[in-house]
Amino acid sequence: MSTLPPGVTAKNVSFVSRCDQGGRLDGVQCIVHKGYAYIGHMFADGWSVVDVRDARHPKTVAFVAAPKSTRSHHLQVHDNILLCVNGPNIWAMQQYASQASYYAQSLADSLKTEQPFGAGIRAYDISNPEAPREISYLHIPGFGAHRIWWVGGRYAYVSVHFEGFIDHALAIVDVSDPANMTVAGRWWLPGMNRAAGEVPPASFGKRTALHHLINAGDIGYAAWRDGGFTVHDLSDPTNPKLLSHRNYAPPFGGGAHTPLPLPNKKMLVLADEATTVNCEGGLAYTWVIDVRNPENPVSVATLPTPPEEEFCKKGGKFGPHNLHENRPGSYVSEDLVFATYHNAGLRVYDMRNPFEPKEAGYFVPGPPERIVDQRPNPARVIQSCDVFVEPDGLMYLTDTNAGLYILHYDGAM
């Protein structure tokens, strides 16, 4: 392993290498598959492929462009198929006066643009990772898709803005023939379908929108930003049955983002995204929820808030963003949880006792050399975005300005 770069602080994590992703330093979701990292971008219209077969010398080998003003920041990979979202590149379009304004009201009320963009899902053949080939595009009228959960099989669960809805809802997409994808089912919280005359309840807060759903067998867990989280019976995948709905906002700030099930422990780890700079909206938390009875989920703990410096005064956002999602083929554990915490970098948590989680390691990069962030008034600080962990302990950490960090977890696995 290499020595730590300047400005880095770390515990139980070593630095392996770094990649500028072909000069496109902004990264969001990263999935490593058969020796290649597939990385969605926040600002660049498209996604990149990085050869990581030699983790010490990563090499960017492809960039797949999306239509102009279209983000493909989230993607999923299985076998030789990659699915990615298409939605408006809201920051390049200069749609919001601040980062906080994006979360302050529903998408239908805040996004005002006549610029064309792609809205839906694209499928690619990646049998040759260095030359991906588009095989289909499922157009879904509205403001596009945001995130996908698909680990193979017939159905993908996608957060999509349907025309006439206030914000992202759940689409169940049949991908059994990736060249001919279809929407096979929909589900939304009552109050989201404005076209049908539904009126959002006060409990929706500033913004209720599906971030995404992750399933563990026939049980699905969905995060709805300020609308809390839901638990579903997915025994009929195209017709989800609601088992329970909980919302901690208020009194907490909302932003439910990533629902990570730990099925053997009968627990759910739910990250609430930090959405304001300098903690202006208060601290955001990652909750540990007992779901042994899916009809009565109970919060039992939170992951420890990083303590080693005053991150709220560091600049940028501080708090949870995403979790390593235990995808098949990746490192799968219910004893370790890997999380990104914006300006507090990467965090590793010991979950052997889920009622008393402990921090087991961290890696906080130094400030980025330059800013590619197109959001208003970006701070020159790290904003760690996503993490993917391989079975050998290699970790792939993305950032909105600093490219891809490849790291290794040195604690017990």
In order of start, what are the domains of the chain with their CATH numbers?
A: 9-409 (2.130.10.10)
Mean pLDDT of 68-72: 96
Give the tokens for residue 372: 């590619």
The answer to whether 141 and 163 are in contact (CB under 8 A) is yes
Interval 196-237: pLDDT, tens: 999 999 999 999 999 999 999 999 999 999 999 999 999 999
pLDDT value at 186 more than 90: yes
Q: Is 308 exposed, middle or buried (0-12, 13-18, 19+ CB in 10 A)?
A: exposed
**What is the pLDDT, as a whole number, of residue 97?**
82
| Band of pLDDT at residue 5, cut at 50, 70 and 90 | confident
Q: What is the pTM of this model?
A: 0.97
**What is the pLDDT, as a whole number, of residue 400?**
94
Interval 322-363: pLDDT, tens: 999 999 999 999 999 999 999 999 999 999 999 999 999 999
Residue 16: other Cβ atoms inside 10 A: 19
Strand extents, DSSP E, 154-265:
155-161, 168-174, 182-187, 208-216, 219-225, 229-233, 241-246, 256-262
Q: Is 173 exposed, middle or buried (0-12, 13-18, 19+ CB in 10 A)?
A: buried
d(CA 214, CA 151): 10
Percent of the chain residues past pLDDT 90, beyond the cut: 93
Give the least confident one: 41-45, 79-83, 371-375.
371-375
DSSP 43-102: SSSEEEEEE-SSTTS-EEEEEEEPSTTEE---EEEETTEEEEEEEE-TTTTT--SSHHHH
Please state, rounded to an integer, the average pLDDT across all residues of the chain: 96
Nearest by Cα to 387 from 329, 350, 352, 337: 337
| Band of pLDDT at residue 94, cut at 50, 70 and 90 | confident
Give residue 259's region: left, alpha or beta (phi > 0; psi -120 to 50). Answer: beta
The answer to whether 87 and 143 are in contact (CB under 8 A) is yes
